[in-house]
Copies of this chain bind each other. A is one copy, B any other.
Amino acid sequence: MLQKNDNLAKELVLSAKAARTKEQPISYLIQVVINNPTIINLAAGLVDPLTLPVEEVKSITNRLFSNTARGQTVLQYDTTQGLADLRKAVLAHMEKLEGMPASKMGISADELMITNGSQQALYLIGDVLIDPGDIVIAANPSYFVYTGALHSLGARVLAVPMDDNGMDVDAVEKILERLERSGELPRVKMIYCTSYFDNPTGLTLSTDRRKKLVEVAKRFSTSHRIMILEDAAYRELRYDGEALPSIKSYDPENKYTIISHTFSKPFAPGIKLGYSAMPIDLLHACLQQKGNHDFGSANISQHIALETLRDGSYYKHVELLKKSYAVKRDAVLAALDKHMPKRDDITWTRTKGGLYVWITLPSFFDTSRSAQMFQSCLHTGVIYVPGEYCYQPDENGRIPTNHLRLSFGAVPIEKIEPGIEMLSRVVKEYLASNNAPTAARVGSAV
């Protein structure tokens, strides 16, 4: 479908930005799944269809449209910034998540923006901060849809390693010191961090690193403010462990941090709604862009989100999701324990929330899309996300190819063990054919 039509002889001259924009790698994977409908899909970042809040939304839409005046409001335009009542409701929700009044984070409903999923907020923030050549610091690995968007905006994405405590904040500090020495500090616009159960590793930034990250951003904000963009998409899908305060909570003046949440993961992707809190000057710039993009998100989605927060069905639903996903996460970890070869150089993250487990294989493995292992998996009947998509190249332009991401969001529970058994079989065959010795354990889980 997307091949160029032969009769389009004369060139379409695209903008520099369009020329920089690559197709999201996930498009290829989606196509593979469409072509192989029986494949066990451990790649898709979808949520579990069985847990979607059909009854809740039915009841809400019934209520909304049984009142004619309310129904008319729902079907009319609202503002670019988003429904005022929804902004108040998500502010109260953020206070619950945080266990502190919003005022202690320097925010009110006026500092909130409602967007088409959290992705639109991430995009707008990039668009108003980044000129080609500007620098964003992110983790290796990172959420590849957003790093793709950053590259499209012309950003240089400099990556720091991760370990079991999340993004290495000391490494962030070192990069900033180096850029300060080279005179490039003015080009640093943003530090991007998925702070809870991240995509792709499932790991969470530790409390002390959260605090330190804000200190580091502040300290290097000598000529201009360096913003921290905290992507909290998976925050509410927590199965074990304590609720951590957000990075944003360490910025009581609301000067250096943005926090972005979504309704897609804890409620339903189909309403395509997110909300972000940020400094008022940045918000203003984002709203001016959003005025050009769409001058406001779908009002029907905003009213559904408002009602589910108001009637409490949102909270019941999140509890249900947590129970349901915890069972699937346990199934993934049990299947890996059972079927994967026992070697020190084969490890995976034991994620406490979110939808992903990240697997590290011996360094001589190649998990990439074009390599044999990926094709063997397809042939066997299972698909994963190659780790290569999630990495920024190192100084030598190299990307590690011995990682892969498993998602347990959409896959049916009864397919988890068979899928992981297939994957493990391919790994064993790869080991056998490469006649590999048992390696000593090296490095971290990431």
Interface residues of A (CB under 8 A from B): 1-5, 7-8, 10-18, 21-24, 27, 30, 46-47, 49-50, 52-55, 57-58, 61-62, 65-66, 68, 71-80, 110, 116-117, 119-120, 123, 127-131, 134, 145, 148-149, 152, 186, 189, 221, 223-225, 227, 253, 255, 264, 268-273, 279-285, 287-289, 291-301, 304
Question: Does B65 lie within 8 Å of A14, measured CB to CB?
Answer: no
A321 to chain B: closest CB distance in Å? 13
Residue on B with the closest CB to A134? B15
Q: Which B-chain residue is minimally distant from A13 (CB atoms)?
A: B224
Residues of B within 8 A of A130 (CB): 15
Whether the pair A270, B77 counts as a contact (CB closer than 8 A) is: yes
Contact of A120 among B4, B255, B293 (CB under 8 A): B293
Q: Are A280 and B5 closer than 8 Å at their CB atoms? A: yes
Question: A8 is contacted by which of B49, B152, B255, B271 (Cβ under 8 Å)?
Answer: B255
Distance (whole angstroms) from the CB of A359 to the closest CB of chain B: 24
Q: Which residue of B lies closest to A22 (CB)?
A: B288
- On whether the beta carbons of B65 and A54 are closer than 8 Å, the reply is yes
Residue of B nearest to A122 (CB): B292
Contacts of A27 in B (CB 8 A): 80, 291
Other A-B pairs, 18, CB within 8 Å; known A24-B295, A30-B79, A272-B299: A8-B280, A13-B189, A14-B128, A18-B289, A24-B288, A49-B72, A52-B71, A57-B65, A57-B300, A58-B61, A61-B62, A61-B65, A75-B270, A76-B270, A145-B292, A148-B291, A272-B300, A298-B300
> How far in angstroms is the closest Cβ of chain B from A171?
24
Q: Cβ of B58 and Cβ of A65 under 8 Å apart?
A: yes
Q: How far is the CA of A78 from the CA of B117 in the complex (A)?
A: 13
Q: A281 contacts which chain B residues (CB < 8 A)?
A: 4-5, 8, 12
Known A14-B129, A127-B15, A293-B119; contact A268-B54, beta-carbon cutoff 8 A: no
- The interface residues of chain B lying within 8 Å CB-to-CB of A74 are 270
> How far is it, in angstroms, between the C-alpha of A129 and the C-alpha of B16 when the chains are bound?
9
Asked if B77 contacts A52 (CB within 8 A), the reply is no
Do the beta carbons of B17 and A269 come within 8 Å of each other? no
- B5 and A288 contacting across the interface, CB-CB below 8 Å: no
Contact status A294-B272, CB under 8 Å = yes
Complex interface: chain B residues within 8 A of A66 (CB)? 58
Contact B298 A298 (CB under 8 A): yes
Given the complex of chains A and B, what is the CA–CA distance between A58 and B63 in angstroms? 9
Check B224–A10 contact: CB distance below 8 A: yes
Q: Pick the contact of A145 from B11, B47, B223, B295 — CB < 8 Å?
A: B295
In the complex, are the beta carbons of B271 and A300 less than 8 A apart? yes
Complex contact B10–A129 (CB within 8 A): no
Which chain B residue has the least Cβ–Cβ distance from A18?
B128
Whether A12 contacts B279 by the Cβ 8 Å rule is yes
Q: A4-B280, A71-B58, A269-B75 are in contact. Are A225 and B10 (CB under 8 A)?
A: yes
Give the complex CA separation of A24 and B72 in angstroms.
25
Complex interface: chain B residues within 8 A of A65 (CB): 54-55, 57-58, 61
Residues of B within 8 A of A255 (CB): 7-8, 10
Q: Are B186 and A13 in contact (CB under 8 A)?
A: yes
